[in-house]
Chain A
Amino acid sequence: MRNAFADEMTKLAASDSRMILLSGDIGNRLFDRYKDSFPTRFLNCGVAEANMIGMASGMALSGLRPVVYTINAFATVRCLEQIRVDVCYHKAPVIIVGVGAGLSYASLGGTHHSLEDIAMLRALPGMTIVCPGDPIEVRLALRAAIKHDGPVFIRLGKKGEPNIHREIPPFVIGKGIVVRPGKEVCLLSTGHILPVALEAAEALERKGISAQVTSFHTVKPLDEALLTDIFSKFMVVATIEEHSILGGLGGSIAEWMVDQWTRGTRGIKGTQSAYFYRFGTADHFFHEAGDQTYAQAHFGLTAEHISKKIFELCATYSEKLMKL
């Protein structure tokens, strides 16, 4: 994902002289081509994230389109107040790109895990949060973010994630993309965990359950039209994210669901509503040594665990499957 970002950044900056890249002293060699092409529009801000976000805001308020890039945990939570005051309060069009989100840097230890950032940034008025599902979506997200008149947070994995889309999908901030069609279960995946969601869907297929996978790349604003549609069509809707179950995509949709119930549009008085389940990281720190796959397994973010759980949910809550 980070290579796609660096490449797309280089392409876009060629036609947009307002773009400037701020790096928090990471990306050794990653931006060589960008730096060669635009030496005056690259700024290594050092290991000083609060200052970096403040500077980006000053640039945005003066007519530039700054893109801030550093390790996700430090691009977000470390400088949360700068994002809140300097960026969001001023509606400054700053693009914050965090690399190594979720458990991408599992082996670097707990300080580098980033599992609360969506929850915290989501509460900031005017913030847009995009978690691309594959390198193609990374490029599309950056293109869309540059056109967006306001703060955008783009949450990346690391490197080596596979391209999921076979062709360029239509990409609009706030509109989910169906990656795999299905009929009974809808898996809403946000961010670089998308391949796991697809694997889980394949596993369910083998067990006779038809599962749709949607890359729900935008956590804020929520694609409410899509949610309204899927909750009346599917038996089970589940969110999958490399983020805490508190306040991430799952949390957002849980809040949305409660509002629907209160309005009487579904649930108690309304139409049929799908059963909802959230896959994410539990509310504790991960203390062990281990790589991303190991850490994902610890939190149950594997195709095997997800498909097993969904199968159980279907068995419990569907008359049809009860008979199987």
Chain B
Amino acid sequence: MLTRSYQVNDEYFNFDNLRNENNRMNQLSEIKAVTRRIRSKLVEMSHKAGTPHLGSSLSCVDILAACYWRVLFIDPKAPNHETRDRFILSKGHACSALYAALAYRGFFPEITLDSFNQNGSSLAEQPSPNCVPGLELATGSLGHGLPVGIGMMLAGLILNCSYRVYVLMSDGECNEGSVWEAALFAPAHKLEKLVVIIDYNKWQATGRSNEITALAPLSEKWKAFGWSVYEVDGHDLEMLIQVLNQVPDGSGKPVAIIANTVKGKGVSFMEDDNNWHYRSPSAEELKRARQELGFST
């Protein structure tokens, strides 16, 4: 974990130093182990709390791990530092995954995860403002993250704070008109440190995202809107880390990363089965899932 204290000066803006430090502390094998821990925890949380959206959470675990362990310039000890990179989980229904990532990354105690969705807990199914350290935006209603992220990016430029803004959206979320209002706006202002990541698992709540709306070709759409687009395997940590880190990419454009993913990734009987948008696992299913992920009990 990063323990250095940030300073608002050139040293902080030396991205290479920070990147080297990140790399030294978090070997790829360690991050892979973290993704297994997170996935196992998510299945457990869904089972215990009876919550839906497990497939959506599992879908974006690798993206979150890449961001929180190897990309974002953040410090769990200074979660509100003004020069931190901003990460917005716009697909708020996958928040269990963000809670787990933040807890394992040291933003709050892991034991807090056990209170997920319990009456009176700070961890609601979808996050409320400032419910845990490290949470940048309360989401749940779709199509809000990108406009707010653009505002944060613009503020950074006006205030001379050289941070980057990452917004993780779902493919179903691209149904929302506000996404495209924002998609039109950002390139006009050359927001090259703004990154949209689309967790493209080809499912939305009740059907195939490419049947419900004409989403495809998604990369071409973002390209046509003026974004610098990368299409990657959203479960390939190495590739994710490489692409997410090369921001700004020199094109002068905001970056859109189309991450091809599998809904329910990591648990064989949940993968690409949209029933897991609503179902929560039984005790038996939890046991099987944990075994698959390499945990004995």
Interface residues in chain A, defined as those with a beta carbon under 8 Å from any beta carbon in chain B: 20, 40-41, 43, 45-46, 48, 50-64, 66, 81-82, 85-86, 89-91
B148-A86 in contact (CB<8A): yes
Contact of B181 among A41, A51, A59, A63 (CB under 8 A): A51
- Give the complex CA separation of A40 and B156 in angstroms: 12
Contacts of A61 in B (CB 8 A): 136-137, 148, 151-152
Known: A41-B158, A54-B178, A58-B154. A86 touches B184 (CB 8 A): no
Q: Within 8 Å CB of B128, what residues of A?
A: 89
Bound-state Cα–Cα, A20 to B157, Å: 12
Closest to B139 in A: A85
Considering the complex, which residues of chain B in the window 121-173 have a beta carbon less than 8 Å from any beta carbon of chain A? 128-129, 136-138, 141, 143-144, 146-156, 158-159
Q: Which residue of B lies closest to A51 (CB)?
A: B181
Chain A residues touching B, majority SS: helix
Contacts of A81 in B (CB 8 A): 141
Identity of the chain B residue whose Cβ is nearest the Cβ of A54 in the assembled complex: B147
**Contact (A50, B147) CB under 8 Å given A63-B82, A90-B137:** yes
Is B79 part of the binding interface, using a Cβ–Cβ cutoff of 8 Å?
Answer: no
Chain A residues in 8 Å Cβ range of B138 = 85, 89-90
Q: Is residue B68 contacting chain A, with contact meaning CB distance below 8 A?
A: no
Cα A58 to Cα B128 in complex, Å, equals: 16
The residue in chain B whose Cβ has the minimal distance to the Cβ of A60 is: B151
Closest A-B pairs by Cβ, 6 of them: A58-B151, A54-B147, A62-B155, A55-B151, A51-B181, A48-B181
Contacting residue for B152 out of A58, A82, A91, CB 8 A: A58
Q: Using Cβ atoms and an 8 Å threshold, which residues of chain B touch A91?
A: 129
| In contact, A59 and B154 (Cβ under 8 angstroms) | yes
- In the complex, whether B177 has a CB less than 8 A from a CB of chain A is yes
B84 to chain A, nearest CB (A): 11
- Is A54 a contact of B158 with CB atoms below 8 Å? no
Query: When A48-B181, A50-B181, A58-B150 are in contact, do A64 and B155 touch as well, CB less than 8 Å?
Result: yes
- Given known A58-B151, A86-B148, contact A45–B185 (CB-CB < 8 A): yes
8 Å CB contact of A82 from B150, B156, B178, B185: B178
